[in-house]
Structure 1
Amino acid sequence: MKSGESEEEWGTAGCSEQDHLIPHEVLNPFVMRLDALNSTYDKVKVAVLTVFVLPLRIVGLCLCVLFGWVFACIGLYGLSEEDHNRPLRGWRRWLRWVVLFCTRSVFVSAGFPWVSVRGQRADAVQAPVLVVAPHSSYFDVLPVIVMAAPSVVAKIETSRSPMFGKLIDYTQPVYVSREDPNSRQNTIREIQRRAHSGGEWPQILLFPEGTCTNRSCLIQFKPGAFYPGAPVQPVVVRYPNRLDTVTWTWEGPGAWKILWLTLTQFVSFCEIEYLPVYVPSDEEKENPRLYAHNVRAKMAEALGVPVTDYTYDDCRLMSKARANNLPCETGLVEVTKLMHQLGINMSTIEAEMESFAEIARKTDGLIRLTEFAAYLGIPTSEPGLVELFNLYDSDRDGVIDFREYLLGVSLISKPCNTEETIRLAFRLFDLGGKGHVTQRDVTKALAHTLSMTEQESARLFQQVQKAHDDYITFEEFRAHAQKKPEYAKIFLTWHGRMTQEKEKSQ
C-alpha cells in the first residue's frame, strides 16, 4: 500500500539553495538491489525460519487482521454519510483503540516487536498535518499505526480492498478519485477544512513524495499537504536493520518476496523521529511549492541524505519502460540530470522548435558534436554536453539523429502528454513541412514514440482511413489512434535500445 500515492497534485517542489546537497554521482531512488541472500549464514537462516517460524507468523498475522476487520466493521456499522463527514465520537472513537491494538499486533506477528520513537509529537492544534518521509515500503503502515492512525489521503480504490478496506475506512481518510474531474479541488478543500478545525479532527498524515523510493535521497514533495498553509510536523522514518528487506521500489524485488524475507528475519526494527513543527512564513503560505521544498530540505538534513529533482512522473515513466521490457535505470536518470545541468528544458526547445525542426529535416537529421553544441548554444568543452551526446551516439560513430534528441526531450519533459509527443514526431519527420508523412516516415516516427515494430507501423498505416494511399496526415492518424487506446501508451523504446547498445559496447 502506498499511502501518499493519490493524485498528481500532491506535490512538486522546486530546486533551490539546497543544490549543494545534490551529489555529483547519479542517484536513482527508484531502484532497489536486495542483498539478503548473499551470505551462507543468511541463506541458512531464511531457510530455517521459513520452515519453523514463517507458518506461525502468517497464522498470527491473519488472525490479527481478522480481529481488526471485525471490530472495524462493528465501529462502522450504521454510520451514515453525514457521520462520515464528522469526527468519530462516543463508543466508536474508543473502539478505534481496539482496532489499533489489532493492527499493531499484525506487525508484532511480522517481527516488529517495537518501534523506536524520537522527538515530541505535536497535537492537532499545533500541527494539523503530519508529513512523513521517506516513503519506501508498504511496511510504512507501521509508523502510521504507531502514530495512532491519523487520517490519510488515499485512493478511493483502497476502500474496496478486502479486509484492509474497512481498516483504512475506520481512520476516516480523505479519499481521492482519479475518475472524478473535481477530485483534486475537493481533496484540497477537505484538507483545508480539517486543518483549520482547531483540533476537532485528527491530524492528517501524508507521504509527500507520492511514491516509494530506496531512501537514498528525498525526491520532490507534492504540495497537497501544504495547500492549507497550516503548520506541519515533519516525521522521518528509518529502518536500521543489518539487511534491508523492507524497501519496495519500482525496480527491484516484488512485494511477496519482500514479505517473505522480512517474515524470515529474527527481528526487524523501525524508527520514527518527530522533527520540530514547521510554521510557514507568509511567502510560503502563498506558495505551497516553496513551502514543500523548504520542509523537504529540513527533513533531508535530519536524515543526512541529499535531495533530488526527480518526481513521481519520472517513476511512472520508468515503470512504462519496464512494462515494455526495457532497461529503465540509467537512461532516464542520466538524461534528466544532464539536461538539468545544462539548463535544457522543454520550454527552451519549444521556443526554437521551428528552427530545430528545420535542422532535423536536413540530411535526415544526422549531426556531429560540434553542430549539436552550436544548435544548443553550449561549448563543446562542457563535459555534460559530451555525455548527453554520447547517450544518443549508440554506435559510437560520432553522429546522432537530432530528431531522436528532440523526441527524447519531449518524452522526459512531458512524459504524460501522448498527443503532443506524437505531434512533435510528425512535425520532425514531415520532410518539407507538407502536412503529411509517408509510410517510411510513419514507421520511423512511431519507432521513437510508441512501442511499435516496423510490421505494426505498416499495419497501422494500412488501417488508417486516409484520403491518399501513399501518405497520411496527423489528423487522420490521431482520429484512428483515438479508437485504439493501446496505441496511447508512450514507451522509451528509443532510449532503452540505446542504453542496451551502450552497455553492450562497454
Structure 2
Amino acid sequence: MNGKMHSATGAFSNDGMRAEILNPFVHKLELDNTYDKIKTAIFTVILLPFRVIVICYLIVTAWFLACIGLYGLSEEDLRRKPMTGWRRALRPVICFIGKLSYLAGGMAITVRGRQVSREEAPILVVAPHSSFLDSCIVYATKMSSVIVRKESMDNYVGKLINYTQPVYVWRDDPNSRQNTIKEIIERATSKEDWPQVLIFPEGTCTNRSCLITFKPGGFYPGVPVQPVTIRYPNARDTVTWTWEGPGALKLLWLTLTQVHSSCEIEFLPVYYPSEEEKRDPKLYARNVRDVMAKALGVPVLDYTYDDCRLIARAKQLGIPGATSAREVSELRSQLGLERSQLELHLAASGMAGRARWLSADEFAVRLGVPANDLSFRLYNIFVQRSSGLVYFPDYLLCAAFLSLQHAPLSHLLSYAFKLYDSQGFGRLNPSNFEEVATRCLGLCQEDAQNTFRQADLDEKGYITYDEFISYAQKKTEFAHIFASDTSHHKPKTQ
C-alpha cells in the first residue's frame, strides 16, 4: 500500500494523480424523450401491478417465516448468542425468497468471486452504498449481521432485520458510537459461530462516482475483512438515491417499470491488515478503500459524514449552491480564498456601487484570482442558465455560510442583510428580505412576506438586521437562529 496519497481536502486516485472534483451526492434522472415516457406509462399499467403483488407476497412470506424463527426469542437473546438448530436452518429459505423478490421486480443479481467463511474474515466491507436496493447484499451473503439504527426496527421489515442478529445503534445514546464499536469488536473476535458482520463504511448514499471516506468503526477489531463491491450496470440508473435527486418512491416506480435491471456483487480477496493498520483503524479503512476503488475503477474522495450534514443544513436553509457546498469549499481552498477571506471582507462592506451580475471573467477579477479552470468551475456552480451570469451576492452568501458554519445563524444573517440591500445600508425592502429569507431561513415566498409585515412594526417599507433580530427573539419558530449547534437533517442511510 506504499505510495498512496490521501488528502483532507482533495480527491486522489489510486495512483496518486489528482482526480476531478466530484459531487457524490447528486443524481439526475429524467425521462427525457417521448419513447421513454410512453414505455414507462404502458409498463406502469401492465407490469407494475403484477410485480408489486408478487413482491408483496414474497416479502410477507419471508416475514412470516422470520416471525416463526424468532418466536420465543427476545432482543437480548439475539444479542447474547448466535442462532442454532432449526432457527438457523430457516436462513437459506428466507434468503432464497428474498432473492426471488428482486427477480420478481426484474432485477437479476449476479455474484462474482467467493464469500469466505467467518473464520477467514469476520467482517464484510461493502461499497459503494448508493441505494435502498443495496439490501440485496444481505440475501447474497446468507443474512450477515447488519449495523442498524434501533429506531429503524419499528416497521414491518423489523422481523427480517432482526433475523440477521444485527448490531444495534441507539442514536439517542450519547455513548452510541463507543458501544457500537465495542459490540463489533466482540462479534468479530468471538469464538462462537456468529454470522459475519456486514458494514457499509461510507455511512451514507452516494452516486457511485467515487468512494468517500470510510468510517473506521468496522476496522477497530483489527481482524481480516473481505471487501465486497456492488455495481448496477444498467442503461438507465433508476436505483441511485442521493441528497439531490429523485425520492425513494420515484426510484422504486422507475425500477419496477424497467423490463430488466442488473446488480453485480463481487467478493474481492480477503484483506489482511498489517500491524500498523491494526494499531490505526483509520489507516486500515483508507487502505481497504483504495483496494475497492481500484477494483471499481473510481477515484477516492475524502468526503465525510460531517460533509453530508453540512450539505443537508445548507439545503434546508436554502443556501445558494447548497448541494455543491463541499465542492465550493474545495475550489475556494485551491484558489486560496479561504486564506485571504476576501469574500467576507467584501460582504462586510456591502454591495453598494458594485456590479451584482457578473460574467466569468468579471467573477474572477472580483475574487482577485486568475481566470482559469478552477475559477470557471466555481463560477459555473452559481451561474443562472437564463442569463449566463452569476448573481454575486449568492456566491458571497455561500462563501460566508462555509466560513461561519459553526457559528449561530444570526451571524450569517448579519452579512446577508448587507449583501442583499442594493443600497448598501443593510435595510431590506420586502423584495430584498424575501431573497434573504428564502436563502438563509428556508422560508417559502408567502412565509417570507408575512414575516416582513410582522417585523416592520412602523410600516416603513424596510427592516434592518437589528429590527429583524428583535422580532425573531420573540418567536419560537426562529429560536434556531441563535443556537450555536443547530439541528441537521439526517442523510439517507441504510
Tell me which of 397, 405, 411 is aligned to 2:401. Answer: 411
Structure 1 residues 231, 328: CA separation in 2 closer, same or farther (over 3 Å shift)?
A: farther
Tell me which of 112, 121, 124 is aligned to 2:115. Answer: 121
Is 1:223 matched with 2:213? Answer: no
Structure 1 partner of 2:149: 155
After superposition, residues 360-371 of structure 1 pair within 5 angstroms as 361-362=348-349
Q: Which amino acid aligns with 2:374?
A: G
Residues 17-62 of structure 1 deviation map (CA, whole Å, 9 limit, x = unaligned): 64745533x533222233666363x555544443433322222111
Supply the distance in 2 between the matched residues of 1:104 and 1:75 (Cα, whole angstroms): 19
Q: Is the 8 A contact 1:300 1:307 kept in 2?
A: yes
Is 1:102 matched with 2:93? Answer: no
Supply the distance in 1 between the matched residues of 2:319 and 2:22 (Cα, whole angstroms): 19
What SS does the aligned partner of 1:269 have?
A: strand
Structure 1 residues 243, 450: CA separation in 2 closer, same or farther (over 3 Å shift)?
A: closer
Structure 1 residues 326, 128: CA separation in 2 closer, same or farther (over 3 Å shift)?
A: same
Residues 452-488 of structure 1 deviation map (CA, whole Å, 9 limit, x = unaligned): 587566578689xxxxx99859998996577745657
After superposition, residues 161-200 of structure 1 pair within 5 angstroms as 161=155, 163-198=156-191, 200=193
What SS does the aligned partner of 1:221 have?
A: coil
Q: Is the 8 A contact 2:314 2:322 kept in 1?
A: no
1:379 to partner: Cα distance: 5.8
Q: Is the 8 A contact 1:238 1:271 kept in 2?
A: yes
- Percent identity, aligned pairs only, is 45
Q: Which amino acid aligns with 2:179?
A: N
After superposition, residues 364-443 of structure 1 pair within 5 angstroms as 380=370, 384=374, 388=378, 408-409=398-399, 411-412=401-402, 415=405, 417=406, 419-423=407-411, 426=414
Tell me which of 243, 246, 257 is aligned to 1:253. Answer: 246
Structure 1 partner of 2:296: 303
RMSD: 4.5
Structure 1 residues 182, 140: CA separation in 2 closer, same or farther (over 3 Å shift)?
A: same
Structure 1 residues 482, 184: CA separation in 2 closer, same or farther (over 3 Å shift)?
A: farther
After superposition, residues 231-270 of structure 1 pair within 5 angstroms as 231-270=224-263
1:293 to partner: Cα distance: 2.0
Moved more, 64-73 or 215-224: 215-224
Moved more, 291-300 or 220-229: 220-229
Supply the distance in 1 between the matched residues of 2:64 and 2:345 (Cα, whole angstroms): 67
Supply the distance in 2 between the matched residues of 1:304 and 1:18 (Cα, whole angstroms): 9
Structure 2 partner of 1:451: 442
Moved more, 314-323 or 359-368: 359-368
Supply the distance in 1 between the matched residues of 2:328 and 2:270 (Cα, whole angstroms): 37
Supply the distance in 2 between the matched residues of 1:185 and 1:390 (Cα, whole angstroms): 42
1:139 to partner: Cα distance: 1.4
Structure 2 partner of 1:77: 71
Structure 1 residues 266, 109: CA separation in 2 closer, same or farther (over 3 Å shift)?
A: same
Supply the distance in 2 between the matched residues of 1:88 and 1:44 (Cα, whole angstroms): 50
Q: Which runs of 5+ in 1 are unaligned?
A: 1-11, 431-436, 464-468, 492-506
| Structure-1-length-normalised TM-score | 0.73
1:247 to partner: Cα distance: 2.2
Structure 2 partner of 1:210: 203
Supply the distance in 2 between the matched residues of 1:214 and 1:323 (Cα, whole angstroms): 20
Supply the distance in 2 between the matched residues of 1:390 and 1:236 (Cα, whole angstroms): 33
Q: Which amino acid aligns with 2:48?
A: L
Q: Which runs of 5+ in 2 are unaligned?
A: 1-6, 419-424, 458-462, 489-494
Is 1:138 matched with 2:132? Answer: yes
Tell me which of 83, 106, 119 is aligned to 1:111. Answer: 106
Q: Is the 8 A contact 2:321 2:382 kept in 1?
A: no
Supply the distance in 2 between the matched residues of 1:462 and 1:490 (Cα, whole angstroms): 28
After superposition, residues 12-27 of structure 1 pair within 5 angstroms as 18=13, 20=16, 22-24=18-20, 26-27=21-22
Moved more, 144-153 or 72-81: 72-81
1:281 to partner: Cα distance: 2.8
What SS does the aligned partner of 2:301 have?
A: coil
Supply the distance in 2 between the matched residues of 1:57 and 1:397 (Cα, whole angstroms): 47
Moved more, 30-39 or 359-368: 359-368
Structure 1 residues 223, 406: CA separation in 2 closer, same or farther (over 3 Å shift)?
A: farther
What SS does the aligned partner of 1:237 have?
A: strand
Structure 1 residues 14, 53: CA separation in 2 closer, same or farther (over 3 Å shift)?
A: same
Q: Is the 8 A contact 1:422 1:449 kept in 2?
A: no
Q: Is the 8 A contact 2:11 2:19 kept in 1?
A: no
Q: Is the 8 A contact 2:455 2:467 kept in 1?
A: no
What SS does the aligned partner of 1:85 have?
A: helix
Q: Which amino acid aligns with 1:57?
A: R
Q: Which amino acid aligns with 1:241?
A: N
1:79 to partner: Cα distance: 1.0
Q: Is the 8 A contact 2:232 2:264 kept in 1?
A: yes
Supply the distance in 1 between the matched residues of 2:33 and 2:403 (Cα, whole angstroms): 39
Q: Which amino acid aligns with 1:200?
A: D
Structure 2 partner of 1:5: none
Q: Which amino acid aligns with 2:297?
A: G
1:64 to partner: Cα distance: 0.8
What SS does the aligned partner of 2:148 have?
A: strand
1:179 to partner: Cα distance: 2.0
Supply the distance in 2 between the matched residues of 1:265 and 1:359 (Cα, whole angstroms): 51
Residues 162-187 of structure 1 deviation map (CA, whole Å, 9 limit, x = unaligned): x2111111111122222222212211
Structure 1 residues 175, 438: CA separation in 2 closer, same or farther (over 3 Å shift)?
A: same
Supply the distance in 1 between the matched residues of 2:188 and 2:353 (Cα, whole angstroms): 56
1:215 to partner: Cα distance: 1.7
Structure 1 residues 373, 262: CA separation in 2 closer, same or farther (over 3 Å shift)?
A: closer
Supply the distance in 2 between the matched residues of 1:293 and 1:356 (Cα, whole angstroms): 34
Is 1:54 matched with 2:57? Answer: no
